[in-house]
Structure 1
Amino acid sequence: MIKKFTLFLLLVLPISAFAQRFSQYFSSTMVESFENPAQGIFKPDTTKMMAFNFFVPNLSASAYTTGNATTTLKQYLFLHNSTFPNIYVGRNNFNTLSTNNNIYVGMFKMFADLAGKQEIGFSWQIRAEGTAHFTDETVQLFDGGTNFNNLQPYTNLFNDRYYAQGYHQFSFTYRETLSPKFSVGYKISALSGIAYDNTTINQSDIIFNKNQSDGTSALYLNLIGQHRTSYTPGSFAANNVVPNFKNPGLSVSFGVEQHNEDGVHIQYNIKDLGFIHWGSDPHIYNFNHTDTIGLSSGNAGQNVYNGASFITQQGGENKSFTTVTNGLAEISATKYFWLDGEKQFKYNPILVASKQLFYNGIAGAFINNVQYGKVTVGVMGTYDDLKQFNLGGKIMFKSANAEVFLGTEQLLTSYDMFRAHRGNLNYINSNANFTGAGIFFGFALKFGADVESPANASSIPMGEDEGFLKRTFKNIFGKKPKDYINSPGATSP
């Protein structure tokens, strides 16, 4: 049973993490232009004017776990049983399990106008986010509580928290160059909720009875807390994944890219700031219930899971609610260095800082990209507030009108998990309190007519050399953005 529980957490509950978050910054790839909307992907006299991924999924997926239970979860995942190493009863040690999935099913973008180098785009992606924290004692229960020797109540050793949210995101993006120093972009998204599940246990008590008259053992489990779900338990089916707007939502992203005279490029982003209203078949359970759970050998894990699920589904009512998406505030910077006189080798160091707006989460990254011709190799290091350091790598082929890349931001731990999957006991039983795996992949092509500058254009564009946002700024303030930026006393953003 614990194997099913582990797979459920790793593969079904996509949880908020910094997965494939940083590798494509300042890459001018199609994925980056949707994630960081101020980033452009078209270049006059070089590229075609339309781009599409032809429904080849551009994806990122990752999972990691931290805490004493890491080895136990790996043993159950790959060996179907465990010796429960490093699990300590009575200390209330917490573990964190996190996964993240972001799949761009379709992306289309086009160069709209030379005036402001305007770009517009449309995308359909499937996202998921959340978090999970559980104690060593929770994991040990799946062994029937053999390490619980005290017959007195165990109090508040099972105050776990689980959260997951999945949804479709249909987006429109607009990007414009305001001046030689500034580019801006925004992304407006309609959301369609797939599933939401949130359980918070505020108080927990367990009493063991290992000497019942019939020779079996049992435990009395009492849990107090709240369980919110977007569907009636047991009713979720495959057709719930089909896009609809029974659970509607909205999110926005906004980005600014600054180009300094010394060659430093800086991006400022507020990303995926939004909400989802769960109104299709939501339920809220304020539970305070006790259940007797049998601990017969071979069925203990299944019984514990069923008992806990039964308790958290008591005291329910059908009631809609609204949740927020995982909004982010980010800043990133880079500078390009040519390593040879013929401009074949280019070095591109990138620094990124990211903060979740509604949840606890801070991360930073340092990316080192070396490009030779059309091939880029990148090595990156990331660090977050869980004190995790990850080493990652990527390889990318990018020409003017084609791009494909593959990599991971969890290079070493992904290799360890691969060896564990192949049955290597050293990697399965390694005494580490952190492990994980991840992968990202992207593909896109540009097609259509060439983007031509006025000097090389086959037709002469008419009208002012101003984009929509620049004209709006001028109409409101009476000045163009570049006039305002260069005016006396003005300060740059």
Structure 2
Amino acid sequence: MKNVISLILILACTATVSAQQFNLYNSRTLYDVFENPSQSAYQIDTSRRIAFNFFIPTISVNATASGSADQALKALMYNGRVNAEDIPIGEGKMNTIAFNTNNYIAMLRVLHKVKKSQEVGLSWQVRNDGRMRITNETIAVFDDLDLFNNTTSASGFFDNKGYNQSYHQFSLSYRQDVTKRFSLGAKGSLISGITYTAFNVQESKLINDLVNNSINVSMVGRLRSSFKFDNIDTVSLKPNFKNPGMSLTAGASYKLRNGWFVMGNLKDIGFIKWNKNSYEYDFDASGIEIDNPSSPSADNRLTDSVDQRVSNSVRKRSYMSLLNGKAEVLINKNFGNYQPNLIISKSIFYEGADIVLTNNYHYRNLVLTASADYNTSSYLAIGGQIMVKSPNAEFFLGSDHLFKSIEMIKDARNNTPPYTGGYSGASFYMGFGLKFGRVLEHPANANFIPGFNEPGGRKFFDRIIKKKGN
């Protein structure tokens, strides 16, 4: 298992990932009704009965990295190497790299009954979710150990933790109106795990022996992975349920009399049970001594030594991981064509939270959206979206990190430091949906009467009338 730590860091910085797509909340698109199950996808007397994406995936990709080592992380992404000269050392500063994907391969929704707007849905998602907290000192190790010359002894320099998991999610959803103002919905899912990695360095120490020109490093912690790092290309992406799991999403929404709308969700509360051939490393990489830390090979010798200690502690066993369940609240009030939404989203089992304001402007079938998202990783993301939506068709295109995505494209083309300041972020999502079938109308307005003007129905009533006439 070659260079485990460096591989984790590079994967963290180069993964294509996705956020929550808050701009689509309360949009009544197919994406919205599967993510927020108390929402309705239909307009009675206008929408057709069956909604489907025709296996055209709703694609969403996004990545963020924030912290005081942002320039070094950008150098790693654009040039494949770390430049840690300006990273603050010994100040206990951390960097957060958060990522996830949520791609709907198939979405099928059926309006079962007009009364109480009863809807049933089936969906297939492929998801990835991850978050890492990495110290400045860990990033500096990949550049030059001379950066630690001013440190004689310190603890916690390499206390890193994080996780990443990917999986298939097959779901059945149901919603209905309990009253004219109150709606409930739920989504139950079967999970097929693809990959899982989690690490937690519980203790770490660095001793710089200036007299003998050496550095002594110790790290104690745990690493779990569903695959060998040197065999990542052979990981199967096909659903096979060798790593089964379950999850549940429940939601409710209420329309107040003064025009306010409130929606709440407990989302993706569940787990995955990884099979007995998964790997666990309870490692004790203590007392690793590196002579002549100024030499060009010193950082490689350190990472190779840690890799070897971690590899020697491997054992195979089964274990469980929790999904990144969330608690969410949305508050909305429409002002004509302007429709703002305030959204609060908090991870339940992991770190991370968002406070988001989305601003929608409707003009006929066109919806323009601008959003501001404050994340607890201490950055503010500005997003934008354009949507074309009618009662029976929808198409949307957007980014949760609009300006940062443009900045990253410019930096990648320039490819030379200094790069733009602030956090790194890139995001893109796109989706499509279409409704077909018979228009389901409210009984009081119906042009279609079952048993009467359906094919063959009028002849049946004609025969009854003629018999009575005789």
Counterpart among 440, 445, 455 of residue 451 in structure 1 = 440
Q: Which of 363, 370, 385 matches 1:379?
A: 370
Secondary structure of the structure 2 residue equivalent to 1:240: coil
Paired amino acid for 1:333? I
1:328-383 Cα offsets, whole Å, 9 max, x none, are: 11111212222xxxxxxx11011111121112222211111001000000111111
The one-letter code sitting in structure 2 at the alignment partner of 1:146 is D
Residue 185 of structure 1 aligns to a residue whose secondary structure is strand
SS at match of 2:116: coil
Of 252, 259, 278 in structure 2, the residue corresponding to residue 263 of structure 1 is 259
Alpha-carbon offset, residue 280 of structure 1? 4.3
150-159 or 375-384, larger mean C-alpha shift: 150-159
1:328 aligns with 2:326: yes
How many pairs were matched up? 446
Corresponding residue to 1:316 among 292, 314, 317: 314
Correspondent of 1:406 among 397, 404, 415: 397
Equivalent residue letter for 1:277: K
Say whether the 8 Å CA contact 2:411–2:420 is kept in structure 1. no
Question: 2-side partners of 1:62 and 1:438: how far apart?
Answer: 4
Q: How many angstroms apart in 1 are the aligned matches of 2:185 and 2:151?
A: 62
Gaps in structure 1 of 5+ consecutive residues: 339-345, 463-493
2:225 is the counterpart of 1:229: yes
Task: State how far apart, in whole Å, the 2-side matches of 1:359 and 1:461 are.
Answer: 55
Contact 2:94 2:134 in 1 (8 A): yes
Which amino acid is 1:438 matched to? Answer: S
Q: How many Å apart are 1:42 and its aligned residue?
A: 1.6
Deviation string, structure 1 residues 235-257 (Cα, Å, up to 9, x no partner): 44444221111111100001111
Most deviating of 203-212 and 270-279: 203-212
How has the CA–CA distance of structure 1 residues 140 and 176 changed in structure 2, closer, same or farther, with 3 Å as cutoff?
same
Deviations 1:374-420 (A, max 9, x none): 00001111112222211111110011211111111112211211211
TM-score (norm 2): 0.87
Q: Which residue of 2 aligns with 1:283?
A: 279
Residue 78 of structure 1 contacts residue 423 of structure 1 at CA under 8 Å; is this kept in 2?
A: no
Alignment of 1:134-173 (within 5 A): 134-149=134-149, 152-173=152-173
Deviations 1:59-98 (CA, angstroms, capped at 9, x unpaired): 2221111112110111232234454243122223211111
Q: Which of 402, 407, 412 in structure 2 is aligned with 1:416? A: 407
2:180 is aligned with 1:180? yes
| CA distance, structure 2, for counterparts of residue 235 and residue 413 of structure 1 | 33
TM-score (norm 1): 0.83
1:138 positional shift = 1.0
Q: 1:326 to 1:4 in 2, by over 3 A?
A: closer
Residue deviations 1:144-178, cap 9 Å, x none? 31212258454331111121111111000111111
Is residue 429 of structure 1 aligned with residue 397 of structure 2? no
Q: Give secondary structure in 1 for the equivalent of 2:115.
A: coil
Alpha-carbon distance in structure 2 between the residues aligned to 1:431 and 1:402? 40
User: Which residue identity does 2:248 align to in structure 1?
Assistant: V
Distance 2:84 2:129 in 1: 29
Superposition pairs for residues 170-209 of structure 1, below 5 Å?
170-207=170-207
CA–CA distance in structure 2, aligned partners of residues 105 and 303 of structure 1: 44
Structure 2: runs of 5+ lacking an equivalent: 453-470
SS at match of 2:78: helix
Taking a change above 3 Å as real, the CA distance of residues 117 and 430 of structure 1, as seen in their structure-2 partners, is closer
* CA RMSD across the alignment: 2.7
CA contact (8 A) 2:146 2:294 kept: no
Shift of 1:226: 1.1
